[in-house]
């Protein structure tokens, strides 16, 4: 089956060429993002999860522990043996563990992430050929590679949802070809992506019922998806930690809860019993909701909005996003937007299957090209995940822009500093250094620097690696960076003054501290000079 798919794709080299261009450009950007220190915290979390798993400590992560409800809300110490499955249940990640074991690096995750998303577009093309002719199938697939909701999340950190488009498109192709063994295999793979991925599978089941194509299998699909999510979030995830009810449910759906914590069952009841609140959440903020919908539909000329399949398959994950709270749920450049993509594109395929004559009109094709171009333009100008930092200023007033040569010179300095951290040493680091040092058992994001070790004792990390220059650059325009800078630098002052840590390396705003070690006179002097230079940025006000 796989061989036949490859043969078919080779007969359609131009769409393979588009996929290769997407892959090549994205790979260059992702490698630049990582090596120039713009990959951030989530890249470090997933790399540590994979690193621990490759050493037999499956899904453990001190970086995830630092975000747990025990630490955030109850003041507990981060711990190295914390299982991330209490936050996000993601067993599908282990499918790719053998690849990581062969090439253990955060870069491997970026390549894997990009490969899965690229393969999703090729699978979409194969799926489209079931209904439309080659040029139209190619146009649909090309639109995938130009969609803001695909490109934006691709140009960021590794994330678990990168598996979803490929799994869903394979499931839909298996349904179309009546390869039911493959359909159910993909159904299991989909729900294993993460604890809420069942909403995507539920959308497929809803379509099978509403369209009357396979009512019985549709019902079974919905039961599998809904039942899995309920059992998982109410039985299995609480076994690992209380994060699902005490933190994640409250952060996204706390408006439907009556207490300080809530299970998924309680949230569902809260939604059903408060219809007016539900309607309010669906419609507000009205401007952002409309802009989000338009952004999702733009690369397909808004065709999905006229497709029943789109509203049923994509409608379920879209509904979940619209009723949630938080600034990130309606941001098209981050991973959540990708959950809506498969349903929209499948719905577009079915719509075009009944309107293929429209594609023969030159005006329609030109308009479609214009829509995809506009989608790419919006993506590039939004500088998703700061990946295009060297092209697009992050702020115009005040102007914050870092040139490529300037950043690579700084990156070499940071590398020189952090290369002095031994592979087995415990370390705390600022956000953009975390991924580079995450292939280890004990790591935290500074200013956290004490954690519960395998020895059962709470210990400070042996090293602290900080990129202060990065914070200084962005503090001029961004409050969060300014607050971190004004917290971290005085903290470093106290650690040096008490002698708990000594400065052993400094270069271009990057400083390395070592516990119970006398400061290197040259490094300390350089730090003190730099400290005076950045004093205005460090002083609140």
Which residues sit opposite 395 in a β-bridge? 400
pLDDT at 7: 63
* 6: confidence class by pLDDT, cuts 50, 70, 90: low
pLDDT at 362: 94
- Return the DSSP state at 520: P
Inter-residue contact 306 to 115 (CB < 8 Å): no
* 281: confidence class by pLDDT, cuts 50, 70, 90: confident
Q: Is the pLDDT of residue 424 over 80?
A: yes
Tokens of 505: 């390396």
State how far the alpha carbon of 436 is from the alpha carbons of 41, 54, 168, 372, 453, in Å. Answer: 10, 17, 32, 35, 21
243 — phi, psi (to 5°)? -60, -40
Please tell me whether residue 434 adopts helix, strand or coil conformation: helix
3-state secondary structure 27-73: HHHHHHHHHCCCCCHHHHHHHHHHHHHHCCCCCECHHHHCCCHHHHC
Top pLDDT among 257 and 301 is at 301
Q: What is the mean pLDDT of the chain?
A: 94
Tokens of 381: 């100008």
Q: Is the pLDDT of residue 426 over 90?
A: yes
Question: What's the chain's Rg over C-alpha atoms?
Answer: 24
Inter-residue contact 94 to 189 (CB < 8 Å): no
Compute the half-sphere exposure of residue 49: CA atoms within 13 Å on the CB side of its CA: 26
- Return the DSSP state at 93: G
Q: How many CB atoms lie within 10 A of CB 382?
A: 16
The DSSP annotation for 361-416 comes to: SHHHHHHHHHHHHHHHHHHHHT-GGGTTTTTS-SEETTEE---HHHHHHHHHHHHH
pLDDT at 541: 66
d(CA 297, CA 305): 7
Please tell me whether residue 213 adopts helix, strand or coil conformation: coil
pLDDT at 397: 84
d(CA 230, CA 73): 25
Q: Is the pLDDT of residue 344 over 70?
A: yes
Q: In this predicted model, what pLDDT tens digit does every residue of 428-473 receive, in sequence order? A: 999 999 999 999 999 999 999 999 999 999 999 999 999 999 999 9
Which residues sit opposite 464 in a β-bridge? 428, 513
pLDDT at 248: 84
Q: Is the pLDDT of residue 8 over 80?
A: no
pLDDT at 252: 87
* pTM exceeds 0.85, yes or no: yes
Characterize the bridge pairing of strands 427-429 and 501-507.
unpaired
Q: What percent of the chain is helix, strand and coil (3-state, nearest 5)?
A: 65, 5, 25
Inter-residue contact 352 to 385 (CB < 8 Å): no
* 325: confidence class by pLDDT, cuts 50, 70, 90: confident
Distance of CA 224 to the CA centre of its chain: 25
pLDDT at 2: 57
Q: In this predicted model, what pLDDT tens digit does every residue of 169-222 receive, in sequence order? A: 999 999 999 999 999 999 999 999 999 999 999 999 999 999 999 999 999 999
Q: Is the pLDDT of residue 5 over 60?
A: no
* 370: confidence class by pLDDT, cuts 50, 70, 90: very high
Q: At what angle do helices 198-210 and 315-322 cross, to 10 degrees?
A: 130
Q: In this predicted model, what pLDDT tens digit does every residue of 347-362 receive, in sequence order? A: 999 999 999 999 999 9
Tokens of 441: 């058992």
Inter-residue contact 78 to 444 (CB < 8 Å): yes
């Amino acid at each position: 089956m796989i061989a036949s798919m490859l043969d078919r794709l080779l007969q359609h080299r131009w769409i393979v060429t588009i996929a290769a261009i997407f892959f090549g450009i994205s790979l260059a950007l992702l490698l630049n993002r990582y090596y120039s220190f713009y990959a951030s915290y989530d890249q470090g979390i997933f790399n540590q999860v994979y690193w621990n798993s490759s050493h037999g400590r499956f899904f453990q992560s001190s970086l995830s522990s630092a975000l747990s409800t025990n630490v955030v809300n109850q003041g507990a110490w981060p711990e190295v043996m914390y299982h991330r499955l209490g936050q996000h249940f993601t067993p599908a990640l282990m499918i790719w563990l053998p690849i990581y074991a062969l090439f253990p690096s955060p870069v491997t995750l970026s390549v894997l992430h990009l490969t899965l998303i690229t393969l999703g577009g090729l699978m979409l093309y194969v799926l489209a050929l079931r209904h439309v002719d080659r040029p139209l199938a190619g146009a649909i697939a090309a639109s995938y590679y130009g969609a803001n909701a695909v490109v934006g999340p691709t140009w960021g950190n590794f994330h678990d949802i990168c598996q979803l488009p490929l799994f869903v498109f394979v499931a839909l192709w298996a349904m179309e070809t009546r390869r039911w063994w493959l359909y159910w295999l993909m159904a299991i793979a989909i729900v294993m992506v993460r604890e809420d991925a069942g909403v995507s599978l539920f959308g497929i089941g809803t379509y099978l019922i509403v369209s009357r194509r396979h009512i019985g299998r549709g019902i079974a699909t919905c039961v599998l998806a809904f039942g899995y999510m309920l059992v998982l979030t109410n039985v299995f995830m609480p076994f690992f930690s209380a994060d699902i009810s005490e933190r994640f449910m409250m952060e996204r759906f706390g408006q439907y809860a009556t207490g300080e914590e809530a299970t998924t069952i309680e949230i569902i009841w809260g939604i059903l019993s408060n219809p007016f609140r539900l309607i309010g959440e669906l419609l507000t903020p009205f401007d952002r909701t409309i802009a989000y919908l338009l952004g999702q539909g733009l690369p397909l000329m808004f065709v999905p909005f006229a497709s029943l399949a789109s509203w049923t398959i994509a409608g379920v994950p879209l509904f979940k996003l619209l009723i949630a709270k938080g600034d990130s749920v309606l941001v098209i450049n981050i991973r959540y937007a990708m959950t809506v993509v498969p349903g929209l594109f499948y719905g577009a395929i079915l719509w075009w299957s009944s309107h293929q004559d429209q594609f023969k009109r030159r005006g329609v094709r030109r308009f479609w090209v214009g829509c995809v171009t506009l989608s790419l333009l919006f993506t590039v100008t939004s500088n998703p995940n700061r990946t295009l930092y060297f092209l697009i200023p992050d702020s115009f007033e005040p102007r914050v822009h870092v040139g490529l040569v300037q950043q690579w010179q700084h990156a070499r300095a940071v590398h020189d500093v952090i290369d002095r951290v031994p592979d087995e040493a415990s370390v705390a680091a600022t956000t953009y250094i975390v991924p580079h040092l995450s292939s280890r058992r004990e790591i935290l994001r500074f200013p956290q620097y004490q954690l519960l070790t395998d020895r059962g004792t709470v210990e400070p990390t042996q090293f602290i690696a900080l990129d202060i220059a990065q914070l200084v650059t962005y503090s001029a325009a961004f409050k969060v960076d300014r607050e971190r800078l004004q917290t971290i630098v005085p903290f470093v002052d106290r650690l040096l003054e008490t002698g708990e840590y000594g400065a052993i390396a400094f270069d271009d705003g990057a400083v390395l501290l070592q516990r119970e070690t006398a400061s290197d006179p040259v490094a300390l002097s350089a730090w003190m000079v730099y400290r005076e230079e950045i004093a205005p940025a460090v002083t609140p006000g």
